[in-house]
Structure 1
Amino acid sequence: MFSGAANGTEVVDVYQKFPVAVAFPNADEGRCKEAVLINSSGGVAGGDEIRVEVVAEGTASVAVTTQAAEKIYRALDRPARILTRLRADGNARLAWLPQETIVFNRARIVRQTEIDVSSGAELIALEWLVLGRIESGEEVLGGLVQDSWRIRVDGRLVWADGFLASDSTFPQLSRTALLSNWRAIATMIYFGPRPEGRLERLREIGASLECAYGVTIVGAIIVIRVAAIASVDLRRGLRRFLDQLGHELGSGPFGVPKMWSC
Structure 2
Amino acid sequence: MSDFAMFETSHCNPNVDDGRPGRAHRVLRDANLERARGTASVVFNSAGSVTRIANLYDKFPTRIMFPRIAGDAAIEAVLVNAAGGIAGGDRFELDIIAVDDARVAMTSQAAEKIYRALNEPARINTRLKARDSAKLAWLPQETIVFDGARICRQIEIDLHPGAELIALEWIVLGRAARGEEITRGYIRDSWLVRRGGRLIWADSFLVTDSTIRHLSRKALLSDRRAIGTLIYCAPHPDRRLELLREVAQSRQCDCAVTMVSGLIVVRFAARESADLKIAMIRILQHFDRELGPGPFRVPKMWLC
Structure 2 distance, partners of 1:254, 1:89, is 17
Structure 1 distance, partners of 2:253, 2:151, is 25
Question: Is 2:163 aligned against 1:124?
Answer: no
The one-letter amino acid paired with 1:128 is: W
What is the CA deviation profile of residues 24-45 of structure 1, one whole-angstrom value per residue up to 9, with x for unaligned ones? Answer: 0027656200000000110000
1:1-262 equivalence runs, <5 A: 1-26=43-68, 31-208=73-250, 210-262=252-304
Structure 1 residues 29 and 49, CA gap change in structure 2 (3 angstroms): farther
Structure 1 residues 183 and 220, CA gap change in structure 2 (3 angstroms): same
Structure 2 distance, partners of 1:204, 1:261, is 25
> Alignment partner of 2:55: what SS?
coil
> Alignment partner of 1:58: what SS?
coil
The one-letter amino acid paired with 1:240 is: R
Note the aligned Cα RMSD (angstroms).
Answer: 1.2
The one-letter amino acid paired with 2:212 is: F
Shift in Å, 1:6: 2.3
Q: How many residues align?
A: 262
Structure 2 distance, partners of 1:195, 1:182, is 29
Structure 1 distance, partners of 2:259, 2:237, is 8
Rg larger for:
2
What TM-score do you get using the length of structure 1 for normalisation?
0.97
Structure 2 distance, partners of 1:2, 1:30, is 15
- Whether the aligned pair in 2 keeps the contact of 1:8 and 1:30 (CA below 8 Å) is no
Structure 2 distance, partners of 1:179, 1:208, is 17
The one-letter amino acid paired with 2:178 is: S
Q: Which has the higher relative contact order, 1 or 2, with Cα contacts under 8 A spaced 6 or more apart?
A: 1
What TM-score do you get using the length of structure 2 for normalisation?
0.84
Shift in Å, 1:8: 1.2
- Whether the aligned pair in 2 keeps the contact of 1:9 and 1:30 (CA below 8 Å) is no
Percent of matched pairs sharing the same residue: 55
The one-letter amino acid paired with 1:14 is: L
Gaps of 5+ in 2: 1-42
Structure 1 residues 102 and 73, CA gap change in structure 2 (3 angstroms): same
- Whether the aligned pair in 1 keeps the contact of 2:227 and 2:268 (CA below 8 Å) is yes
